[in-house]
Amino acid sequence: MACVLWVLCGIYVVQFIDRGWIAHDEGALGQSAERVLRGETPHRDFDEVYTGGLTYLHAVAMKLVGVNLLAPRWMLLVFFMLFLAAVYGIARRVASPSAALVALALATAWSVPNYFVSAPSWYNLFFATFGVLAFLRYLETERRRWLFVAGACGGLSLLIKVIGLYYLAGGVLFLMYLEQTSAPSYGAGQRKRSGFWPVAAIPGVLLILLAVLLSRSAGLGLLQVLAPAFFVCAFLAWREWAEGCGRFAFRAERLIALSWPFVAGAVVPVAAFLLWFWQQHAVAELLRGVFVLPQRRLIEASASPPVVATLGLAVPYALVLLAGRRRAVPRESLLAVVAAGVLAAMLVLANYPRVYQGVWAATRAMPLLAAVAGIWLIGKRQVATGQTDVAPQAQARAWLVVTMAAVVALVQVPYATPIYFCYAAPMTMLAVFAVVFAQPRSLMRVHLAVAAFVFAFAIIFVNRTYGWNLGVKFLPYAPQSRLDIPRGGLLVPDDDHRTYEELVRVIRQHVAGGTIVAGPDCPEVYFLSGFPNPTRALFDFLTPEREDDAWMAGLLARAPIRAAVINTAPLFSPRFSPDVLRLLEARFPSSQQVGQFLVRFE
C-alpha cells in the first residue's frame, strides 16, 4: 500500500511540474546554472544568491536535459520522490503503519505542489528529512555510521543554503538530549550538582543567536517563528540545571563520543566544497557571499505572521494534542463526530477570506504547538517514581522529530509568508504524529478528523492557488499559456506570456551580437533571451557594487553592450537613478516599452 501511494503521490505532483512561475526566481536559478556551464565560479565571478551547491546541481540537470526552465524542476522531482520515501520511513517509526500512509499524503499536499520550483529551501527540507531518518536508524542500531550519515545530510544541506546550519544545530541539540538521558547517574534521587554546565551553555548560545535574528528582522511578529527553537534550547538548558549530574570530564567524554561521527559527516562535504573553491582561488569570496551578503535580506526582504490571531485559533487543537497524556477522555467518539462536523463546515466556508485566513493562522501555529507538546510530554515526570509516562525509545524518537521541526521552521526567518511555512510543514506534521503516538491515550479519532481536514484543505484550497495568494484569500491559479521560447516551456499567466515573448523578440531583433544590460532585479531577461550577464549581479540589492552612473559608464566602456532593458517596477531593489537613466538614454536613443520593461537600443 505504501508503494502504491508513493507512486500515486508522484503522479499527482508531476501535474504541477510546469505550472506557474515567479519570473525573477526562475531567472536567478537558471542564470546561475548557465554561468557555471560557461565556466564561471559562483561568488568569484557572480553574486551567487545561495551557497552554490544547488547551482552546480542545476548545471548538471541542464547538462542532461537541456538549458531551459524545466531542467531544474526535473531534478527537484527526483529528490522529492526520495523525500517522500524518507517521510514514510520516519512516520513508520514514530506512528502506526496506517498513520504513516496519512503522513505520506499530507507531506505531498503541503509541500512541492504549492510552489514547484527547484528552490533551495525544498532541498534543506529534503536533507533534514534524510538526516532525521538516519538518526532514527541510529536509535535502532546504535551504529555510529548512521550518525555520520546524519551529519553528511547536514553538510550537504549547508552547501545548498546557509540555513542548513539550523539542521546541524538541531542535530547537536538532539545528541545533547541523548547524552543527558543515557547518563548512568541521570535521575538519581541523591546526587551532586551537575558539573556539565559549560557544555550545557550550547543551548544558551543558540538562544542568543535566536534573539539576534529576532532583533535584526521584521520585529515581534517573528517571535512565533523563533519560539519553537527557543523553547527547545531553553528546555535542554533547564533540564541540565535541574536534573543533570556527573563530573564534567565524564559527561564531556560521552558527548564527544556521540557527536564526533555527526560532526565528521558534516565536515566531509563542506571540506570538499571548500577545497574546490580553494583551487579556484575563491574561498574569501565564498565566505563573503555565504555569511556577509545574505545579511541584507534581513532588512530588504522580510515579513512576519500575525501573532495573537495565530496562537488564539490554535488553542483548541493544542488542548486536543495534550488531552490523552494522562487518562482516557470520556465520549471520545462523540467528540470526534463534533470535531468532524465543525471542520467540515469550515471546509465548506473556506472560500470566505476570514475562514480561509483563520485556517492558515491555526496551521502556521503547528510548529509552536508541536514544540510545547513535546516539552510537556518529555519534561513532566512522575513525582513518585521519577519515571516518565512515555517509553524512553518513543521519547527519544518524539524529541528528535520535535527538535528538527523547531529548527527547520526557522526557514521562515526573515520572510515568514505562507509559502515559507510550506518549506517546514512536512517536518512539523511528522512532529505532531510523533507526539500523538508517543502518548498512551491520544484522541486518535479526533486527530484523524483533523488530518482529513488538513489534507482536504490543502488539495482544494492550497494546491490550486499560488505563492502570492496563500494565506490571504483563495484565488484559483491555472495558467494556460505556455512560454513558447526555447528556454521556457512553463505554463505562465497570459500577461507574462505576452510580455516575455515580446521582450525576447524585441531584444533579438535589435541585438545581433554582443550582449545586453538588464536591471534592476530581472535575471530572467538574461536567461530567456540567451545573452550573458556582463555584471556580477543577479539581484541588485544583494551586490556589493554601487550601481551609480560611474559604474554604468565603466560597464558600457568595457563590455560589448548593444541594448539596455530597464525594469521600471523592480520588486526588491531601487530603480536606476536619474543619472543612470540619462546615461543609458544618451547611449541608446531609441526605445520600446514592453510591459514593465523599457528596451533601449541604438
pTM given for the model: 0.93
Residue 408 has pLDDT above 50, yes or no: yes
With respect to residue 250, please indicate whether it lies within any of the assigned structural domains: yes
The DSSP secondary-structure symbol of 458 reads I
d(CA 37, CA 35): 5
Mean pLDDT across 508-534: 94
Mean pLDDT across 164-181: 92
Mean pLDDT across 6-14: 97
Residue 451 and residue 513 in one domain: no
561-567 and 515-519 strand pairing: parallel
Residue 374 and residue 418 in one domain: yes
Residue 461 and residue 506 in one domain: no
With respect to residue 552, please indicate whether it lies within any of the assigned structural domains: yes
Length of the chain: 602
Residue with cell 563573503: 288
| pLDDT 10s digits, 308-346 | 455 666 778 888 887 765 555 667 788 889 999 999 999
With respect to residue 590, please indicate whether it lies within any of the assigned structural domains: yes
Greatest pairwise CA separation for the chain in angstroms: 87
DSSP 3-state of 561: strand
Which band of pLDDT confidence, cut at 50, 70 and 90, is reported for residue 186?
Answer: very low
- What is the Rg, in whole angstroms, of the alpha carbon atoms belonging to the chain? 26
What domain count does the chain have? 2
| pLDDT 10s digits, 342-401 | 999 999 999 999 899 889 988 998 999 999 999 988 876 433 334 555 677 888 999 999
Residue 285 has pLDDT above 90, yes or no: yes
Which conformational region is residue 281 in: left (phi greater than 0), alpha (psi within -120 to 50 degrees), or beta?
left
CB 439 within 8 A of CB 401: no
Residue 456 and residue 586 in one domain: no
DSSP 3-state of 33: helix
597-601 and 491-492 strand pairing: unpaired
Which band of pLDDT confidence, cut at 50, 70 and 90, is reported for residue 216?
Answer: low
With respect to residue 225, please indicate whether it lies within any of the assigned structural domains: yes
- Residue 223, pLDDT score: 76
Residue 453 and residue 597 in one domain: no
Residue 516 and residue 460 in one domain: no
Owning domain of residue 442 = 2-469
| pLDDT 10s digits, 446-464 | 999 999 999 999 999 999 9
Domain boundary among 469, 503, 524: 469
Domain boundary among 417, 437, 469: 469
Residue 280 and residue 408 in one domain: yes
